């Protein structure tokens, strides 16, 4: 396990068509992926091919930050706040697997910070909790505990608290407006697909895409390319 004692390493990629893009997409990798894989796997090329006037920031948010429960404060202090100071008006997070989990936790704990959120094959907590939600008839009918389990770390919400927050996406509830637009992509044979289907049931159909396959880059690459044209992102001038 890599140590999490250094500031989050980041790499900024400027838009290919705008020198002053005011929209930033923060890219969070999966547990065993490196941020440069977003380039190798064509995520940046896909943005350019769709003529989107956005900058991207690849973040080396490795598992060490999740293990020591500092990922959210590091994202706020070392990624989101500096981006605001640099003039970005709209900040999105796009995360894969545990990176999607981190993006969801950030949106939950920092209401109003994000303009949108894309999660590809996100880790969504323990399977037993997803089974409990399914047994209740889905997220709209689930009434799990509101409190954190005993011994929970207050710096990071529990799986249960995250699902309670996600329940706010079901219909237009009173608190729906506090949540950023959420887009989900997953493969039908992904090892987390059982949980993904529960989340998909809480979202508008046009914000969910699926593909065949499992939990790896070929599927994530295809999901990213399918989602991009549906996202409310600024286009290149002209």
The pLDDT score that the predictor gives to residue 177 is: 55
Task: Pick left, alpha or beta for residue 101 (phi over 0 → left; psi -120 to 50 → alpha; otherwise beta).
Answer: alpha
Count CA within 13 A, CB hemisphere, residue 135.
7
Question: pLDDT band at 216, cuts 50/70/90?
Answer: very high
- Sheet with 10-13, strands from edge to edge, namely 10-13, 55-59, 23-28, 90-96, 116-120, 182-187, 208-211
Q: What is the mean pLDDT of residues 81-94?
A: 98
The answer to whether the CB of 133 falls within 8 A of the CB of 164 is no
Is residue 227 within 8 Å of residue 50, measured between CB atoms? Answer: no
Question: May I ask the CATH architecture of the domain 10-230?
Answer: 3-Layer(aba) Sandwich (3.40)
pLDDT at 178 over 70: yes
| pLDDT bucket at 144, cuts 50 / 70 / 90 | confident
Report the alpha-carbon distance of residue 53 to residue 115 in Å, rounded.
15
Closest-CA residue to 34 (of 59, 7, 71): 59
Does position 172 have pLDDT exceeding 50, yes or no?
A: no
Q: Give me the long-range contacts of 142-146 (CB less than 8 A, separation at least 24).
A: 142/167
Average pLDDT score over residue span 84-113: 97
- pTM equals 0.93
The listed range with the strongest mean pLDDT (127-136, 139-148, 163-172) is 127-136
What is the SS3 assignment for 86-137? CCCCEEEEEEECHHHHHHHHHHHHCCCCCCEEEEECCCCCCHHHHHHHHHCC
Domain ranges within the chain, ordered by starting residue: 10-230
Of the CA atoms within 13 Å of residue 175, those in its CB half-sphere come to 8
Q: Which of 225, 107, 92, 113 is nearest to 169 (CA)?
A: 107
């Amino acid at each position: 396990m890599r140590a999490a004692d250094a500031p989050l390493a980041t790499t900024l990629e400027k838009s290919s068509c705008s020198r002053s893009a005011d929209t930033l997409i923060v890219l969070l990798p999966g547990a065993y992926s490196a941020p440069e894989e977003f380039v190798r796997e064509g995520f940046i090329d896909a943005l350019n091919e769709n003529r989107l006037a956005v900058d991207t920031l690849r973040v080396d948010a490795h598992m060490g930050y999740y293990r020591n429960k500092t990922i959210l404060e590091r994202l706020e202090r070392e990624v989101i706040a500096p981006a605001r100071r640099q003039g970005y008006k709209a900040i999105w997070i796009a995360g894969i697997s545990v990176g999607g989990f981190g993006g969801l936790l950030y949106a939950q704990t920092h209401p109003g910070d994000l303009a949108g959120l894309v999660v590809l094959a996100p880790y969504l907590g323990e399977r037993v909790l997803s089974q409990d939600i399914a047994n209740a008839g889905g997220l709209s009918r689930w009434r799990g505990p509101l409190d954190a389990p005993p011994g929970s770390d207050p710096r990071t919400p529990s799986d249960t608290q995250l699902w309670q927050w996600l329940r706010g996406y079901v219909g237009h509830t009173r608190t729906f407006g506090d949540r950023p637009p959420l887009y989900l992509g997953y493969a039908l044979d992904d090892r987390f697909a059982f949980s993904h289907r529960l989340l998909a049931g809480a979202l508008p159909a046009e914000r969910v895409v699926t593909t065949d396959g499992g939990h790896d880059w070929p599927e994530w690459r295809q999901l990213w390319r399918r989602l991009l044209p549906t996202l409310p992102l600024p286009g290149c001038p002209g």
